Amino acid sequence: MEISDSSSRILAGLLEARTGQQLTMNRRWRLETALSSLMRERGITSIDELITILVMGKEPNLSAKVVEALLNNETYFFRDRTPFDLLAKGALPKLMERRASSRRLKIWSAGCSTGQEVYSLAMMFAEDPSKYSGWTIDIIGTDVSEAVVERARTGTYSQFEVQRGLGITQMVRWFEETPAGWRAVEALRKSVRFQTHNLLELPPHPGEFDIVLCRNVLLYLNQQTREKAFDRLASAMAPDGWLMLGAGETVIGQTRKLVSDKDSRGLYVLATNDEQADRRVA
Ligand X SMILES: C[S@@+](CC[C@H](N)C(=O)[O-])C[C@H]1O[C@@H](n2cnc3c(N)ncnc32)[C@H](O)[C@@H]1O
Through-space distance between the first and last CA atoms of the chain, rounded to whole angstroms: 39
The residues that touch ligand X, with contacts defined as CB under 6 A, are 19-21, 71-75, 79, 111-113, 117, 143-145, 148, 198-200, 215-217, 246
Distance CA 176, CA 78 (A): 19
CB 83 within 8 A of CB 117: no
How many residues make up the chain in this entry? 282
Distance CA 280, CA 282 (A): 6
Q: Which is nearer to ligand X, 36 or 73 (CB)?
A: 73
Cα–Cα–Cα angle for 269, 238, 88, rounded to 5 degrees: 65
Least distance in angstroms from the C-beta of 63 to ligand X: 15
Q: Which is nearer to ligand X, 51 or 214 (CB)?
A: 214
Q: How far is CA 86 from CA 83, 90, 242, 264, in A?
A: 5, 5, 12, 8
Nearest to 71 by CA among 120, 116, 24: 24
CB 145 within 8 A of CB 197: no
Least distance in angstroms from the C-beta of 171 to ligand X: 18
Q: How far is CA 206 from CA 116, 132, 138, 231, in A?
A: 24, 25, 14, 11
Q: Which is nearer to ligand X, 19 or 156 (CB)?
A: 19
Q: Which is nearer to ligand X, 104 or 125 (CB)?
A: 125
Least distance in angstroms from the C-beta of 133 to ligand X: 28
Q: Which is nearer to ligand X, 72 or 260 (CB)?
A: 72
Least distance in angstroms from the C-beta of 87 to ligand X: 14
DSSP state of 111: S
Least distance in angstroms from the C-beta of 91 to ligand X: 17
Q: Which is nearer to ligand X, 26 or 133 (CB)?
A: 26
